[in-house]
Amino acid sequence: MQHDANCIFCRIVRGEIPSRKAYEDDDVLVFHDIQPVAPVHLLLIPKAHVATLYDATPQHAGVLGKIMTLAGQLARENGAGDGFRLIVNTGRVGRQEVMHVHVHVVGGGEPFGPMIVRKGP
């Protein structure tokens, strides 16, 4: 499986960095974010290293589709059965910090504000 020795999330996949796991199968790992921004904050990642959504190709469709179909189930199982938001920060403008594709599932509290704060007039 494709991995990058210096990538934090690849190291989590390999068990070199501990994480609080919520789900695992052959090609997907789900764990709790270390700095949650909501009562429920999960990270859903492909086990294979893909740096950003810019790097995703049709060969990643299966695993990325699986992540989407797991989101609702995992949100519900972890206390966000009342709605949640998926976030995939990408690149500089998206303020992606970890360069291994990950889908944030955030929820479990009060409704969020607008998706992106609008700039003033």
Binding-residue pattern over the window 92 to 111 for ligand 5GP, x denoting contact by CB under 6 A:
---xxxx-------------
Spatial distance between the Cα atoms of 64 and 48, rounded to a whole number of angstroms: 11
Instruction: Give the binding range for Zn ion (CB under 5 A) out of 4-12, 24-32, 36-44, 71-79.
Output: 4-12
Interaction partner, residue 4 (Zn ion, ligand 5GP, none; CB < 5-8 Å by kind): Zn ion
Neighbours of 27 (CB within 10 A): 15
Q: Which residues pair with 40 in a beta bridge?
A: 107
Closest distance of CB 55 from ligand 5GP, Å: 14
Closest distance of CB 97 from Zn ion, Å: 13
- The tokens of 98 are what? 């970890």
DSSP 26: S
Binding of residue 19 to ligand 5GP (CB under 6 A): yes
Residues 6+ apart with CB under 8 A from 75: 40, 42, 81, 84, 105, 107
Spatial distance between the Cα atoms of 102 and 64, rounded to a whole number of angstroms: 10
* Interface residue list for ligand 5GP (CB under 6 A): 8, 17, 19, 31, 33-35, 89, 95-98
Interacting residues toward Zn ion by CB under 5 A = 4, 7, 9-10, 49, 100
Positions marked active-site: 102
